[in-house]
């Protein structure tokens, strides 16, 4: 039986050297590209593929795969970026989206 419940996946975008890195801390997935929106697009595609693949295996194993967490350092980076973004927003920083920031992706909570 399928459910319509959804879960938010915590993600962040970070510029490293000459490229952008998009990370999903709830599935421990990462993608990189030269442009920020391309890194996000790649991560979104990876998330979709990962979830589709997880749905093809036994439910117990799928739930285990879909609960895979990133290392603590990446979780802390997510919250550090979220805090910086919050303060930029308070200052009405017009360059906010051109910098490191957090974002959320969603997917159905339970496996059919």
Residue keyed to tokens 């969603």: 106
pLDDT confidence of residue 1: 34
Query: Could you tell me the residue ranges of all domains in the chain?
Result: 10-106
What pLDDT, in 10s, does the model give residues 2-15? 444 567 899 999 99
Q: What is the mean pLDDT of residues 85-104?
A: 74
At residue 109 the predicted structure's pLDDT band, cuts being 50, 70 and 90, is: low
Higher per-residue pLDDT: 91 or 79: 79
Q: What is the mean pLDDT of residues 63-72?
A: 87
How many angstroms separate the Cα of 41 from the Cα of each of 59, 73, 81, 102, 103? 27, 23, 19, 14, 12
């Amino acid at each position: 039986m399928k459910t319509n419940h959804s879960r938010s996946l915590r993600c962040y975008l970070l510029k490293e050297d000459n490229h952008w890195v998009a990370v999903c801390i709830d599935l421990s997935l990462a993608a990189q590209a030269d442009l920020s929106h391309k890194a996000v697009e790649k991560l979104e595609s990876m998330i979709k593929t990962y979830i589709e693949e997880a749905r093809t295996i036994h439910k117990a194993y799928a739930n285990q795969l879909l609960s895979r967490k990133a290392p603590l350092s990446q979780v802390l980076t997510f919250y550090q970026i979220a805090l910086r973004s919050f303060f930029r927003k308070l200052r009405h920083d017009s360059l906010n989206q051109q910098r490191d920031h957090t974002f959320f992706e969603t997917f159905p909570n339970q496996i059919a």
